[in-house]
Amino acid sequence: MTTRIDTRFAELKKQGRAAFVTYVMAGDPDITTSLEIVKALPKAGAEIIELGIPFTDPMADGPSIQAAGLRALKGGMTLKKTLELVRAFRKDDNATPLVLMGYYNPIYIYGVDKFLADAKSAGVDGLIVVDLPPEEDDELCIPALKAGLNFIRLATPTTDDKRLPAVLTNTSGFVYYVSIAGITGAAAADANVVGEAVARIKRHTGLPICVGFGIRTPEAARAIAEKADGSVVGTALVDALKNSLDAEGRATAKTVNAVAELTAALAQGVKAAKQAAE
């Protein structure tokens, strides 16, 4: 099984550079604008897109992404509509890898088998489900792999060498290294500390390692891209979106461009990491 994620990392490896991975919340601030934003991301330089599944109790997310989820839910976003958004995106883009990121509850309610079939047919490439540990692999991870989807696991600063093999078992696509202990958007990532962590994880796996949480600027994205196989930015993009909304929290003429412009600047930072390494 070769997914779009595997293909994209193989392409980037040949070019000798890291991936720029973006995260946005599906349905934020409304379904129509959200689709426009997702369509704009690859044109602005995003090489992999993580799409958040709105959920009422997002325990790993900081205030910005929690608020994004609530805006999406208020606008009527559901898991079914998230898959419809993916399907609409795929009409014009069959190459950009798309990962759904969220929590198990909405998937469980939807029905695992139905969800995996619908996600695959819509054009989803991988899943990040933050509240399912390796001990629960039979719930979703193994069925997802059988359905042809990558199952991407999180490793954190507290994932020691004893725990790491369990985390990496059945993981595919890439490993998502959480650069800080805490919630999204809470602190800045330290590139040197991240570099040591990435080197340690690479001793256990040949999978690409992408680093997220705490990357907000092109400079930070570049510094991480010099140490890892990918830089992941979410909160900064969600904040750019929020700051473009009107007083009632509705999209304005600036909303899509606000996210696209920051994406382009961050993408340049990641691409500059290759130049620095040459």
Q: What is the pLDDT along the chain (278 residues), one digit of tens a residue?
A: 799 999 999 999 999 999 999 999 999 999 999 999 999 999 999 999 999 999 998 887 889 999 999 999 999 999 999 999 999 999 999 999 999 999 999 999 999 999 999 999 999 999 999 999 999 999 999 999 999 999 999 999 999 999 999 999 999 999 999 998 766 666 777 888 899 999 999 999 999 999 999 899 999 999 999 999 999 999 999 999 999 999 999 999 999 999 999 999 999 999 999 656 55
The pTM (predicted TM-score) of the whole model is: 0.96
Cβ(72)–Cβ(27) under 8 Å?
yes
Please give the structure tokens belonging to residue 137.
Answer: 């692999």
Cβ(154)–Cβ(178) under 8 Å?
yes
Catalytic residue among 6, 30, 47, 50: 50
Domains along the sequence of the chain with CATH? 4-270 (3.20.20.70)
Please give the structure tokens belonging to residue 28.
Answer: 């934020």
Distances 174 to 81, 228, 261 between C-alpha atoms, Å:
26, 11, 26
Give the burial string for 80-91 (b: 16+ CB within 10 Å, else e): ebbbbbbeebbe
Would strands 209-212 and 175-178 be described as parallel, antiparallel, or unpaired? parallel
Looking only at Cα atoms, what is the longest distance across the chain?
51
Q: Tell me the CA end-to-end span of the chain in Å, nearest whole number.
A: 32
Please give the structure tokens belonging to residue 2.
Answer: 């070769």
Answer yes or no: 50 catalytic.
yes
Catalytic residue among 30, 61, 137, 229: 61
CA atoms of 263 and 244, how far apart (whole Å): 15
Task: Report the chain's C-alpha Rg in angstroms.
Answer: 17
For 40, the 3-state DSSP assignment is helix
- Beta-carbon contacts of 13 under 8 Å, excluding residues fewer than 6 positions away, are none
pLDDT of residue 277: 58
Answer yes or no: 278 catalytic.
no
